[in-house]
Amino acid sequence: MVTLKGKHIYLRALEPEDLEFIYTIENDETIWELSNTVTPYSKFLIKEYLEHAHKDIYEVKQLRLLISDYINKPIGLIDVFDFDIKNRRAGIGILIQNKENRLKGFGKEALALLSNYCFTNLDLHQLYCNISETNVSSIKLFENQGFTRIGLKKDWNFYQGNYTNEYLYQLINNVL
């Protein structure tokens, strides 16, 4: 796996020592709405996931990378999912764990690095993402990176007794 380096952060493959960081994120109920999670994950399951995280994106149809600063402190995770080689598209999602690390440009840099990697190294034609209409920060992040809102999914997610709408965004690589 190529290490993707930016000015302030870099993206890297998951390592066994990331267990506690991923465990904390996956079991943080305040962000379950973002991932449509409804049950906690055990350390055992996450450890098993990490043992298989080295598998090729062409085999497992997804790629999760850790976002790290240059003092090797984990900041968040960024994912490629629903990798569809036939149609040359994939979904993309990002999470910056701690609020104090949000709105500092780390997400912007990580999204730019991974988008470029997807278009250049994976030869994808398009990326898409799904964002709750209430997630203003993510909407701004993806729009500032060139993603275009192409649809609204009404009453798409049920969270805390209410239905919420979700936007569908798309970024097309027009270089053939």
Question: What's the CATH code of the domain at 44?
Answer: 3.40.630.30
Q: Cβ(74)–Cβ(92) under 8 Å?
A: no
Tokens of 84: 């569809």
pLDDT at 151: 97
The one-letter amino acid code at 161 reads G
Mind listing the pLDDT tens digit of every residue in the chain (176 residues)?
Answer: 455 999 999 999 999 999 998 888 888 777 776 766 777 778 888 888 888 888 889 888 999 999 999 998 999 999 999 999 999 999 999 999 988 888 899 999 999 999 999 999 999 999 999 999 999 999 999 999 999 999 999 999 888 889 999 999 999 998 65
Q: Give how many domains the chain has, as a whole number.
A: 1
Question: What is the edge-to-edge ordering of all strands in the sheet holding 63-69?
Answer: 4-5, 9-13, 63-69, 74-84, 89-96, 126-132, 162-172, 148-159
pLDDT at residue 176 in the model? 56
Round to whole Å and give the CA distance between 117 and 152. Answer: 27
Residue pair 146/171 in contact (Cβ under 8 Å)? The answer is yes
Write down the pLDDT at residue 3: 58
* pLDDT value for 1: 44
CA angle, residues 93, 96, 97, in degrees to nearest 5:
125
Structural domain harbouring 59? 4-172
The model's pTM is 0.90
60: Cβ contacts below 8 Å, ≥ 6 apart: 52
